[in-house]
Amino acid sequence: MSGYTQTRGALPTVRRLILYILLFALVSIAASGTSQLLGLIITPASGNDSGRTTGLALALAFVLIAGPLTFVLWRSLAKRLLDSEENSAPAWALYMAAMYVTSLIVASTAMFSLLGNLLLDHTDGWQSKLSTALIWAGVWWWQVRIIKDSRRTPRTLPQLSGILSSWYGLVLAAVATVSALTALFSATVGLLIPNAWVGTPWWLEVLSQLPWILGGLLLWWWHWIQQRVAKIHGGFSDVAYILMGILAAGAMMLGGTGYLLYLVIRLLWHQPTAPLLTPIPLALAGALVGSVIFTYSWSALSQRSAETKNAARLVTSGLGLAAGASGLGVCVNALLAALVPPLAGDRGGDLLLAGVVWLLWGAGLWVWAWQPGRKADAHDRRVYLVVVFGLSAVVALVALLIIGFKVFTFLLESNGLFSGLIDAIRAPFGLLVATALVSIYHFVIWRADREVLETTTSPTGKSHTKILLVASGDTSELRTVLAKATGAKVQVIPRSGEEYMATSEGLLAAIGSIPEDSRHIMLLVEGPGSIRVIELAE
């Protein structure tokens, strides 16, 4: 029962922490020393000898001191790790993830930049890059072998390395694709307006990004598909999925498409000149890559739990809300700008265009994800509402402070014009109006939710504080059902054996049969359809 080992004080944790940090440092130093040594060996000696001797001395010091120490430390740790208490410690899992991801990042960036440089025909320093890539790839391969070794593989958080590496590969490929597409589209835009470019021609830029794109995709594919990271659901995997696949990709998609819309519509009013056209390729590339990742992540949500789907919907509506609210703020900003005629320059048309574009686009996304007026589960939205209130409060506070500062500056200086004051506060005032409207709407929702929560906390009419459920199989859905039905804290102790799975109807029926005043109960599944209710002492 490895889940129940008690730690005997802080000593084992501190010992593990120190030893693993030491091991990480030693492995990194030995690896960088070896790679530098290898790089110097294969570099032909040129006239610059002083730099070479210093580098050689450093590399030799690293290798000859850190190398044997790593070996000794690893031998002693490896023996300890055969013990199940050691290899289920979180410190071991964290060390493995850190070492795995670090070696992967160093090796992959060295390899891809080497390939990119070779494609561009820049061959200086290829030896050091090649040796870095090879040595750190060796370290990574060593970590892979440890993970595959079933006696020593970390038992808590076993998938951490896989999850982090798959997202790293995807980010790498995405950024490189955006750069390549930007270069390609800039060349297309350059056909419309003749402007002399300096630097590398577009096909070379695209070519140099190719190793990064293919390499990133390869890393992502190897972890996501081959190592079946995609099949891991729950816990950190879902959090990472929402953060990267929904939030980050959604922000890129929203930002790219909104900016693109603004730039394109703006072209209808002005002459297409170079400053107006140059941002378009980047916006288009960002929009395309972001949409691809976002739509794929959204459609693949169907394989995940209902909680994750709900969280994804809330995150998307949050993105739309942020964009729409700022758009509204900018519209108010443009309103005030139109009231104050400037001495020269822009009269506020572009500003209003930007505001309207962001408002419509953000509000559209928000309506699609949030579906206002729909009956929703009050429990799931609480965190979201609290976050919205918190952020609105911070933004409104900052805006108020800026407005106050400008107003007092105006009042204390005797020469200011009132129109100058209006112009100075138009931006924070717009934000203030937008956050006020957002807060009012969500406050109404919050109040309605609270009424719903108060009247439906316990449909069974009883309130228990703690429920202990002993059952086998996948109990996460049962846990949520129990928690919602009784409002109690549910703790699950997994039971071995396959025939002790419970159903939610059986559980609710069992709860209905216990006396009113028990606050701490245990539901023990004794067989299919048979649940025993045990009252525990306080």
Which stretches of the chain bind other proteins, using CB under 8 A? 255, 258-259, 262, 270, 273, 275-276, 279, 322-323, 326-335, 337-359, 362, 372-373, 413, 415-417, 419-420, 423-424, 427, 433, 437, 440-441, 444, 447-448, 451
- Cα angle 52-56-58, degrees, rounded to a multiple of 5: 120
Least separation in angstroms between CB 387 and other proteins: 16
Torsion of CA 277, 281, 284, 285, to 10 degrees: -170
Closer residue to other proteins in complex, CB, 300/387? 387
- CB count within 10 Å of CB 445 equals 18
Least separation in angstroms between CB 444 and other proteins: 5
Least separation in angstroms between CB 264 and other proteins: 12
Least separation in angstroms between CB 194 and other proteins: 18
Least separation in angstroms between CB 168 and other proteins: 24
Cβ-in-10-Å burial (0-12, 13-18, 19+) of 374 comes to exposed
Closer residue to other proteins in complex, CB, 22/437? 437
CA 70 from centre of chain: 33
Are 400 and 464 within 8 A, CB to CB?
no
CA–CA distance, 73 with 28 (Å, rounded to integer): 14
Closer residue to other proteins in complex, CB, 81/330? 330
HSE-CB at 249 with a 13 A cutoff on CA atoms is: 24
Are 334 and 352 within 8 A, CB to CB?
yes
Least separation in angstroms between CB 7 and other proteins: 45
Q: Which two tokens stand for residue 400?
A: 């108020």
Give me the residues paired with residue 522 across strands.
468, 534
Are 478 and 469 within 8 A, CB to CB?
yes
Are 209 and 113 within 8 A, CB to CB?
no
Closer residue to other proteins in complex, CB, 62/366? 366
Are 403 and 436 within 8 A, CB to CB?
no
Closer residue to other proteins in complex, CB, 150/415? 415
Closer residue to other proteins in complex, CB, 90/279? 279
Closer residue to other proteins in complex, CB, 345/515? 345
Are 301 and 230 within 8 A, CB to CB?
no
CA–CA distance, 179 with 175 (Å, rounded to integer): 6
The structure tokens 């990742």 sit at 293
Least separation in angstroms between CB 532 and other proteins: 41
Least separation in angstroms between CB 355 and other proteins: 7
Closer residue to other proteins in complex, CB, 111/319? 319
